[in-house]
């Protein structure tokens, strides 16, 4: 015991004397468990802190202050690392889902976790550069809070930083003759840079997933390597061992199912019948989507009449505001069940075909509904007699998101919990339900699309989505474990995450960019609210800023960049051509690597 204690003390002292990079590499190379490595790291940090305190007594007061700041930052970093370790509990949840239900269901939860992280990033950007400065210039809110605002988004919330109309158009300066903060430029540049960053993140995520699953899948483990080379010998816990075994077993089953998939041969009559069923199903699905869009448009025009008459706080008026989001959520909730029934009627050869067709029908439905709503907001609400049409749009989106979240929870209860009760007690032949991947994924894409549109009209909506996605993650996980059974047909879905990313990029994100572009460049802002009041368009704030910069010699380069690059069609044409050339060269490099790997594999086999 004493020998081991002395050896550990010596180890800690040696590690404390190393540089940071050497210490990290030394701890990583230790043949110990992760928990033991964390304990050693924490002891080393404590030893460094102790030595720092002894050394600080010999320093001057200024040096002591700097040393204290460094120690505080080190402690903060240590606490932050422990916090992120707690967040890794989600990783264990994903491993359990992958082992029990396979990669098809796992892909939904990975996508949901990615969207949650994405909205945290969105919230931090908007809150830091738009909301915090507005707090400095905000006036007190004299409206009373009744609780109905949580559903309707009106009343007390109307005079808060939640909506566009509350933000000032003044230049904020709390110190006389000190630095100032232009809210117009901050608002438009924050939103613009946010969408540029989102564009790059989505492109990178799609390219990475596409390369991994489509272009170069040979670089990832196959069946033999999964069976012989992927076991982690650091796993000692019995539950973790069983979970790892089950996970590997499920992955190998999926790979074998993909290899041994049979191609069914149909007669001419059977093919004609199948084509007729597919054609009828598509006609029914498109007709249903068209009828849903017509209903949403009719309700939206009546919804505007309610706003134009004036905001009343009585219960009847508050309930009337919820008619449009409730009906829209009902259509988005029940029509996908009809699409799933059509898919079972068509009897596809593989579960993958069924899911992809269901996703295609759902994306047509949901994007069409969002398109009708955007037309209503940009062409009818923006031209209405309302004092602040941007806030009306933000309130509409707030209600749609909140009601959609409630229907998502109700869908887990009625669609999965009650279905399990019926399948195990009333009609045993039905059995347990399977997790509907297509419907649940399109619910996430629909909700994220509304969030992106709301960035301009309600900058803090991503914060609401963080709460809703966090709750949805754990509700869906509990519902999956308690109510659902694994897919009856095991199949490999390596490309499904790539498909989700692509659907999120097109038509969702690119459609949102067109909506934001029309709003910023074409529509006239409200005269009495918001940071762009009194301007001909939101983009006019940038043009006026450039005209001011022309009077300053030090800012001539900004004017040159704006006039010769930002507003130049030729520059964007050259940039697009260069991007396509780089993409083509990258494709050729990947294809070369792919052929080289195939050649090496043939040589090894021979």
Q: Does residue 3 surpass a pLDDT of 50?
A: no
DSSP-based helix, strand, coil % in the chain, nearest 5: 80, 0, 20
**Residue 193, both tokens:** 């840079």
Mean pLDDT across the stretch 323-339?
91
Give the per-residue pLDDT at 2. Answer: 39
* Residue 337 pLDDT level (bands cut at 50, 70, 90): confident
Give the per-residue pLDDT at 91. Answer: 66
* Residue 517 pLDDT level (bands cut at 50, 70, 90): very high
Give the per-residue pLDDT at 586. Answer: 67
Give the per-residue pLDDT at 494. Answer: 55
Least confident of 50-64, 176-190, 238-252: 50-64
Q: Does residue 458 surpass a pLDDT of 90?
A: yes
Entry pTM:
0.78
Give the per-residue pLDDT at 67. Answer: 56
Specify the higher pLDDT residue, 179 or 284: 284
* Residue 128 pLDDT level (bands cut at 50, 70, 90): very high
CA 65/CA 63 separation, integer angstroms: 5
Q: Does residue 227 surpass a pLDDT of 60?
A: no
Domain ranges in the chain?
Answer: 102-535
Cβ pair 44, 16 in contact under 8 A = yes
Q: Does residue 375 surpass a pLDDT of 90?
A: yes
What region, left, alpha or beta, does residue 147 occupy, with left being phi > 0 and alpha being psi -120 to 50 degrees? Answer: left
Task: Spell out the residues 6+ positions from residue 320 whose beta carbon is closer than 8 angstroms to its own.
Answer: 306
Give the per-residue pLDDT at 13. Answer: 78
pLDDT, tens digit, for every residue of 54-81? 655 544 554 555 555 555 555 555 554 5
pLDDT, tens digit, for every residue of 460-516? 999 999 999 999 999 999 999 888 887 765 555 556 777 888 888 888 999 999 999
| 8-state DSSP, 234 | T
Strands (E), 87-236: 171-172, 181-182
- Average pLDDT across the chain, whole number: 79
Measured CA to CA in angstroms, residue 461 lies from 123, 361, 465 at distances of 8, 27, 6
For helices 61-87 and 34-56, angle between their N-to-C axes, nearest 10 degrees: 170
Give the per-residue pLDDT at 581. Answer: 82
Considering only CA atoms, which of 134, 138, 249 is closest in space to residue 183?
Answer: 134
Specify the higher pLDDT residue, 147 or 376: 376
pLDDT, tens digit, for every residue of 420-453? 888 888 887 778 888 888 888 889 999 999 999 9
Q: Does residue 120 surpass a pLDDT of 60?
A: yes
CA-based R_g, the chain, Å: 29
pLDDT, tens digit, for every residue of 11-41? 777 777 777 777 777 787 777 777 777 888 8
Q: Is the dihedral of CA 111, 113, 116, 117 positive or negative?
A: negative
pLDDT, tens digit, for every residue of 522-559? 999 999 899 999 899 999 999 898 888 888 888 888 88
**Residue 73, both tokens:** 């930052």
């Amino acid at each position: 015991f004493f020998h081991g204690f002395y050896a550990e003390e010596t180890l800690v002292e040696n590690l404390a004397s190393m540089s940071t990079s050497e210490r990290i590499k030394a701890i990583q190379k230790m043949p110990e468990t992760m928990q033991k490595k964390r304990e050693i790291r924490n002891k080393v940090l404590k030893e460094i802190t102790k030595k720092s305190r002894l050394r600080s007594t010999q320093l001057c007061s200024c040096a002591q202050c700097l040393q204290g700041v460094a120690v505080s930052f080190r402690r903060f970093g240590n606490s932050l690392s422990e916090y992120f370790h707690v967040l890794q509990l989600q990783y264990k949840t994903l491993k359990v889902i992958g082992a029990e239900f396979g990669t098809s269901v796992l892909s939904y939860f990975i996508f949901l976790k990615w969207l949650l992280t994405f909205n945290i990033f969105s919230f931090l950007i908007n809150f830091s550069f738009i909301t915090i400065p507005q707090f400095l210039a905000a006036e007190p809110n004299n409206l009373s809070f009744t609780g109905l605002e949580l559903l309707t988004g009106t009343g007390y919330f109307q005079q808060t930083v939640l909506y566009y109309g509350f933000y000032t158009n003044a230049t904020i300066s709390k110190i006389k003759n000190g630095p100032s903060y232009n809210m117009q430029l901050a608002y438009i540049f924050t939103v613009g840079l946010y969408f540029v960053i989102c564009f790059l993140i989505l492109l990178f995520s799609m390219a990475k997933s596409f390369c991994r699953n489509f272009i170069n899948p040979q670089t990832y483990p196959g069946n033999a390597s999964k069976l012989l080379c992927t076991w982690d010998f650091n796993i000692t816990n019995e539950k973790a061992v069983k979970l790892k075994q089950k996970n590997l077993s499920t992955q190998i089953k999926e790979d074998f199912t993909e290899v041994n998939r049979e191609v069914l041969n149909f007669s001419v009559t059977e093919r004609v019948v199948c084509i007729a069923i597919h054609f009828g199903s598509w006609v029914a699905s498109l007709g249903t989507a068209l009828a849903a869009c017509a209903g949403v448009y009719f309700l939206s025009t009546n919804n505007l009449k309610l706003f134009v008459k004036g905001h009343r706080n009585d219960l009847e008026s508050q309930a009337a505001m919820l008619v449009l989001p409730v009906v829209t959520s009902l259509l988005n909730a029940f029509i996908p069940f009809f699409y799933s029934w059509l898919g079972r009627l068509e009897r596809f050869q593989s579960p993958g075909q069924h899911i992809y067709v269901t996703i295609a029908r759902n994306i047509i439905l949901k994007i069409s509904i969002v398109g009708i709503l955007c037309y209503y907001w940009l062409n009818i609400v923006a031209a209405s007699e309302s004092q602040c049409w941007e806030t009306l749009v933000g309130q509409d989106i707030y209600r749609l998101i909140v009601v959609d979240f409630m229907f998502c929870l109700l869908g887990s209860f009625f669609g999965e919990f009650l279905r399990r009760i019926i399948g195990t007690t009333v009609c045993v032949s039905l059995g347990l339900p399977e997790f509907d991947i297509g419907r649940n994924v399109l619910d996430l894409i629909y909700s994220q699309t509304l969030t992106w549109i709301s960035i301009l009209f309600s900058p803090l909506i991503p914060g609401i989505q963080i709460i809703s996605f966090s709750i949805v993650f754990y509700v869906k996980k509990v519902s999956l474990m308690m109510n659902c059974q694994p897919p009856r047909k095991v199949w490999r879905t390596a490309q499904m995450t790539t498909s989700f990313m692509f659907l999120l990029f097109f038509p969702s994100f690119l459609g949102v960019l067109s909506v934001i572009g029309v709003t910023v460049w074409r529509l006239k802002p409200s005269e009495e609210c918001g940071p762009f009041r009194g301007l001909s368009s939101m983009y006019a704030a940038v043009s006026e800023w450039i005209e001011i910069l022309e009077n300053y010699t030090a800012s001539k380069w900004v004017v040159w960049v704006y006039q010769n690059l930002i507003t130049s069609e030729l520059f964007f044409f050259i940039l697009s051509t260069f991007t396509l050339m780089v993409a083509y060269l990258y494709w050729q490099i990947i294809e070369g690597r792919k052929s080289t790997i195939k050649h090496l594999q043939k040589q090894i086999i021979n």
